[in-house]
Amino acid sequence: MNPKTRKERFVVVGGCAAGMSAASKAKRLNPKLDVLVFEKTPHVSYSACGIPYFIADLVRDASELVTLTPEDFRVQRGIDVCTRHEVVGIKPVQRLVTVVDLETRKEVCVGYEKLVISVGGRPSRPALPGMDLKNVFTIQTLEDGIHIKQFIDENHPGQVVIVGGGYIAMEMAEACCVRGLDVIILEKRAQILDGFETDIVEQVAAELKANKVTVETSVVIERLHGNSSGKVTSVAFDDKSVQAELVLVCAGLRPSTQLAAEAGVRTGNSGAIAVDWKLQTNVSNIYAAGDCVEVRNHVSGKPDYIPLGPTANKQGRVVGENVGGGTAKFPGVVGTSVFKTFGLAVARTGLECERARSLGFDADVVTVDAPARAGYFSRQQKIRVSVIFDKRSRRLLGAQIVGPDGVSKRIDIFAAALTNRMTLNQMAYLDLSYAPPFAPVWDPVLVAVNVARGKLR
């Protein structure tokens, strides 16, 4: 195809949150734009965060997690979506991508005027003997979730080993318990939930134990053993072994950058793709968004890798607006997240104390247990709030919360305060809502902030 005669085209490489948001926004702003999406899996525009609940059988059908199908995009939005198509090369000078149809193995070259790389991250998979055995799964795509649920439905395994102790592992521990499996978590670090304060982790660990989940920390996994059929049977670590009919590798996420690097796109110190405020890369006409991209951390002021769904959606909209003819900038994030495991909600935003100190802050932390609602409610329960702050400037640096009730509401207060660089003194006079069914007169947020202020007097 001659670049001079082709229609103006926006090519989207990767069709999940960031990619489809970019495609939709660009097409909405410029209906004459030819928007073409290539996605290597069978699905686009779905809730990856809903996968644990699908595996737990709380969501009965995978289609319930899908927002729009490829056909919906074609008919409703005029966007051409090609699933099971993988972009294997980008030629920036010629403005061409090389695409492989994974069904037919046919390879074609497609031209573009603008392009966004939104290929997400890839699950970390330790290079251990036996990792290629059957019944060993990672969890990233909807396709992964379908395979895991199908395996549990058809084989009724008795015991699962979860490799890793992050929030996905916590969600999957509950999902597997709901399905009747015995759960063992193996974490290489000294505690589960890396990046959380010890006081928060202790409460989560107690909740796991109460639900008969076995947790082993400071673990060095040696290998996975299998049988003559190539199915995993056990996991060996620290000179002992545990049986496993199913292994879930939840060892974190790494940015997928190989395709970008081969095209000359620069990565940052975080290992993810470096972009400017408009999410443009160093290569002309190429943007990047989503879990493959580093972001500006509002608290540290430095580039960071914080792969989260809401960030990917926002970044996609920024790219789409810029490609569609508008002007938009992505300011950054504070790293806010929340997850559920059994009867607890666990949330965080900003920096943890140890990391804040490593970045040069004079950081300290306080932790309080405070009622989430008025004390005379028979079902009122306490939540635990950790506040991280800078002793010199009194600036809020981060917060973490764990408890059965009212956690997500309160972490968002801290996230807004971090975004606006508020001090503890400013936070102490926030006008927060009060009614006995929802909060006490002194909200746990204000209790924790005032305890922190008292530590500085």
Tokens at residue 343, please? 């009867």
| Whole-angstrom distance, CA of residue 166 vs CA of residue 277 | 30
Could you tell me where the DSSP H helices lie in 309-406? 309-323, 353-358
| Whole-angstrom distance, CA of residue 456 vs CA of residue 320 | 46
**Residues 95, 101, 104, 110: what is their CA dihedral angle, to the nearest 10 degrees?**
-20
The H or E element containing residue 99 is strand 96-101
| Whole-angstrom distance, CA of residue 156 vs CA of residue 179 | 9
| Whole-angstrom distance, CA of residue 377 vs CA of residue 236 | 49
Which of these is catalytic: 16, 49, 82, 177? 49
Integer angstrom CA distances of residue 209 from 185, 204, 220, 375: 11, 9, 21, 28
To the query of whether residue 49 is one of the catalytic residues in this protein, the response is: yes
| Whole-angstrom distance, CA of residue 263 vs CA of residue 11 | 15
C-beta separation of 207 from 213 below 8 A: no
Question: Would you call 338 helix, strand, or coil by DSSP?
Answer: strand
Which residues form the catalytic set? 49
